[in-house]
Amino acid sequence: MPASVDFRSVSVEPILHDINFQIASGEAVAFIGRSGAGKTTTLRLVNGLVRPTSGDVFVDGNSLRTIDLISLRRHTGYVIQGSGLFPHRTVYENITTVPRLLGWSESEARTAAGEMMEKLELPLGRFGDRYPRSLSGGEQQRVGIARAMIARPSILLCDEPFGALDPIVRRDLQDAFVALRSGVTIIFVTHDLPEALRVAERIVLFDGGRVVMDCPASEFTAQPLPLVQRFVDAASL
Amino acid sequence: MTAEILRATGEHIFIVLIAVGVAIIIGIPLGIWCARRARAGRVMLRIVDTIQTIPSLALFGFLIPVPLIGGIGTRTAIVALILYSLLPIVRNTLTGIRGVDPIVLDAGVAMGLTDRQLLRQVELPVAMPVIVAGIRIATVVGIGVATIAAAIGGGGLGTLIFRGVAMVDTRLMLAGALPAAALALVADVVLSAAERKLIGYNPRIQQ
């Protein structure tokens, strides 16, 4: 079940100042902004990797100050640039990390891993026993997505997941990602506007630790804000 | 003569195995602790470092008057060797754990691993080749230093060497020195192989 996320007057001094907005359950939202604008910090508030200095974050109406963070994290997918795969574990072992933590049976985990890897074009038979170092950057990131999605999380947090990939692989992964994204609330951090428009239905623009724009993706490029126009200019050929 | 060499070699192996074994049991948790606490870790490392700078013959001597662990004999020799073996093990455990890619740790925490699970399932396995390298250094150095233990009645191959020196008998000296060198070489080869096997899954160290 997708979850809702609610930021209420959240500050993380000195990075973020008075963040206020809601994300409905099942929504796909992109955070864009320049480096240091506060997008990643805001993302990391959702699974408690960063704690607010004031204000509070709510997931499905429950305050992150009171709920069990370990359990929340096991139901929140997390995909990052560089994938963060465990180097000493095979692709299969990496993908089944959260199912093992949740106590799934081996057969349940194997079935789910097989299905997930099929969708991401990484057949279990061919990739399951390989180590992350033997995979290309794009393949590693596919494993990263499979690992984050396998246990059907309520929220999927993505922090520049495709930032280090070449443009063609990047495009392929964006398409694979869009095909997978139903049934989960998505927050996707990127500084690439075309990517944000492709993967999200709503865009939140950060600048200087504040939200300066929050609108449907389809209306974003028409916004008169100078920073929006700079992103549009930077994205056009 | 052969029987005596065998007996001394056996004693030597016993002293080193016990000492390195105890140093592993103390050193790895100490290294983990140092990795977690930056300042306390630095102080602890400095202490372990300082022990290493004491000349081995002097360290054996200093321990003789210490109650419970001191005196003349094997026990004192083992305690001195434990102190010597600590440094490479503590330092390498610390270095190995600090060397784990922060992105990998971030991913581990974000997937809901507890601190204990992160240590056992990620930090220790990824750091293991470096930790084993520390154990290898401790063992090889320990085999050499253990020859000096004979000076305080610790036994082992040093007994033959010291006797050979006193009697100006080269054959007797070699009867102690050659097996000690051979032991060190074998330990080095075996533990290096273990290290390489473990490095197989650790691309960061491979580079």
Read off the DSSP letter of residue B92.
Answer: H
Average pLDDT of the residues in A147-151? 92
- What is the per-residue pLDDT for B200? 61
CA A19, A25, A27, A28 dihedral sign is positive
Reported as a single tens digit per residue, the pLDDT across A183-220 is 899 999 998 898 999 999 999 999 999 999 999 988 88
Structure tokens at B144: 């050499």
Read off the DSSP letter of residue A177.
Answer: H
| pLDDT at A31 > cutoff 90 | yes
Asked which of A20-24, A60-64, A201-205, B60-64 is least confident by mean pLDDT, the reply is B60-64
- What is the per-residue pLDDT for A21? 92
**Please, is B171 exposed, middle or buried when counting C-beta atoms within 10 Å of its C-beta (0-12, 13-18, 19+)?**
exposed
| pLDDT at B201 > cutoff 60 | no
Cβ atoms within 10 A of the Cβ of B134, count? 29
Residue contacts between A and B (CB atoms, under 8 Å):
66
Q: Enumerate residues 167 to 196 of chain B having a beta carbon within 8 A of any beta carbon in chain A.
A: none
Higher pLDDT, A229 or A29: A29
Helix (H) / strand (E) containing A210:
strand A210-216
- What is the per-residue pLDDT for B206? 41
CA B147, B152, B154, B159 dihedral sign is positive
Average pLDDT of the residues in B53-57? 84
**Helix spans in B54-169 (H):** 56-63, 74-98, 102-110, 115-118, 124-145, 158-166
| pLDDT at B205 > cutoff 60 | no
Contacts of residue B202 in chain A, CB cutoff 8 Å?
87-88
Cβ atoms within 10 A of the Cβ of B99, count? 16
| pLDDT at B199 > cutoff 80 | no
Structure tokens at A127: 């990739």
Mean pLDDT of chain B: 89
| pLDDT at B204 > cutoff 80 | no
* Contact between chains at A87 and B108 (C-beta distance less than 8 A): no
pTM above 0.90, yes or no: no
Cα B69 to Cα A43: distance, rounded to the nearest angstrom: 56
Cα A121 to Cα A117: distance, rounded to the nearest angstrom: 6
* Contact between chains at A70 and B101 (C-beta distance less than 8 A): no
- What is the per-residue pLDDT for B74? 85
Residue of A nearest to B205 (CA): A87
Predicted ipTM of the assembly: 0.90
Cβ atoms of A175 and A121 closer than 8 Å: no
**Please, is A77 exposed, middle or buried when counting C-beta atoms within 10 Å of its C-beta (0-12, 13-18, 19+)?**
buried
Query: Rg of the Cα trace of chain A?
Result: 18
Average pLDDT of the residues in A12-18? 92
Contacts of residue A78 in chain B, CB cutoff 8 Å?
107, 110-111
**In 3-state terms, chain B is what percent helix, strand and coil (to 5)?**
85, 0, 15
